[in-house]
Homo-oligomer: A and B are copies of this chain.
Amino acid sequence: MSQLATENGTFREERSAEIVNARHEGCADPRLAQIISALVFHLHAFVKEVHLTQPEWQAGIDFLTTAGQMCSGERQEFILLSDVLGLSMLVDAINHRRPDVATENTVLGPFHVDGAPQRQMGETICLDGKGESCRFEGRILDLAGAPIEGARIDVWSDNAEGFYDVQQPDVQPKWNNRGVFVTDSTGAYSFLGIKPVSYPIPDDGPVGRLLAALGRHPYRPAHMHYLITAPGYEPLVTHTFVGDDQYLGSDAVFGVKASLIAPFERMPSGPVIWHSSFDFVLNPLT
């Protein structure tokens, strides 16, 4: 065998990524080849940049193995990992670029449930009677500021103790702090809930231990979830954030965008304690 032939495909540190990626030239799925080749390029660059040692590589293997063994029907440790590295938000962002005037997306999160009951405008979604009551209201608008009729507003939040109903099926009423509202020709929405509270992501696994080792806390700042759909418009998956939350600048999953921080104002009197007004602007489908 000639020297040229034997060296073809053999490993050399300085061309390591190119040598690996040359194997993908015959791939029948060009998009897969593109993704894996870019991943190889960046992972090799990472290893070279930090001069990863073999014990550090082994620690990485052990981390992934422990994370995989933590995954179950109720727990997704790799999504948590993606979240705390800012990757979930980045993937969301690059796939939802919109005109400046349109409301920005943020992550859906693991606690959305299809099928929440549709309620009349103004009704409450808080069924356990806990927490500080808050009226949420505003309008669903198009890019020109005109109201959108027939917009479907699916909202959900944690309860006053920081848990979603699905995390406490034996404690909370079913559909607690969830509801669906549909706009009329004014585009206006209004419902009663509670001022949301901050809560930690699940931190009893390898991702929680990584956060601790990095000196990071596991908390998400308080937020209300919205999934807003209307015929002819791009679905909007977003939150509004409580403007005075202590974790607003350090969300464990990087979900906060400055444009999504909403005013929460204390009411001067009456049974409802808080008031939060926020208009959502939908982007038309192209």
* A binding-site residues for B, Cβ under 8 Å: 1, 3, 5-13, 16-17, 19-20, 23-24, 26-29, 32-36, 38-54, 56-57, 61, 64-65, 67-69, 71, 76, 78-79, 82, 85-95, 97, 106, 210, 213-216, 243-244, 248-251, 254-258, 261
A51 touches B9 (CB 8 A): no
In the complex, are the beta carbons of B249 and A9 less than 8 A apart?
yes
Residues of B contacting A88 with CB < 8 Å? 57
Please report the C-alpha to C-alpha distance between residue A92 and residue B39 in the assembled complex, in whole angstroms: 19
B16 adjacent to A93 (CB under 8 Å): yes
In angstroms, Cα B47 to Cα A18, docked, is 19
Main secondary structure on chain A at its contact with chain B? helix
A244 near B57 with CB under 8 A, answer: no
CB neighbours (8 Å) of A16 from chain B are 86, 89-90, 93, 254
Residues of B within 8 A of A23 (CB): 214, 216, 250
Known interface pairs A20-B254, A35-B52; A248-B214 also in contact (CB < 8 Å): no
- Cβ of B64 and Cβ of A64 under 8 Å apart? yes
Q: Cα distance A97–B12 when bound, in Å?
A: 11
Chain B residue, CB-CB nearest to A25: B215
Q: What separation, in Å, do the CA atoms of A256 and B33 have in the docked complex?
A: 23
**Bound form: Cα–Cα A57–B87 in Å:** 9
Q: Is the CB of A27 within 8 A of B215?
A: yes
Given the interface pairs A82-B61, A86-B20, A94-B48, the reply to whether A7 lies near B258 with Cβ below 8 Å is: yes
Q: Nearest Cβ in chain B — how far from A256, in angstroms?
A: 4
Docked pose: A276 CA to B49 CA in angstroms? 39
Q: How far is the CB of A236 from chain B (nearest CB, A)?
A: 15
Q: Given contacts A24-B215, A39-B46, are A95 and B53 in contact (CB under 8 A)?
A: yes
Q: Are B34 and A50 in contact (CB under 8 A)?
A: yes
- Please give the distance in Å from A231's CB to the nearest CB on chain B: 22
CB neighbours (8 Å) of A19 from chain B are 86, 254
Residues in B whose Cβ lies below 8 Å from that of A248: 1, 6, 9-10
Sample of 27 A–B contacts (CB below 8 Å)? A9-B251, A10-B248, A10-B258, A11-B93, A11-B106, A11-B254, A11-B256, A16-B89, A23-B214, A23-B216, A23-B250, A24-B216, A29-B213, A32-B213, A32-B214, A34-B50, A35-B56, A36-B210, A42-B42, A47-B87, A48-B90, A52-B94, A57-B87, A61-B79, A64-B67, A65-B76, A68-B71
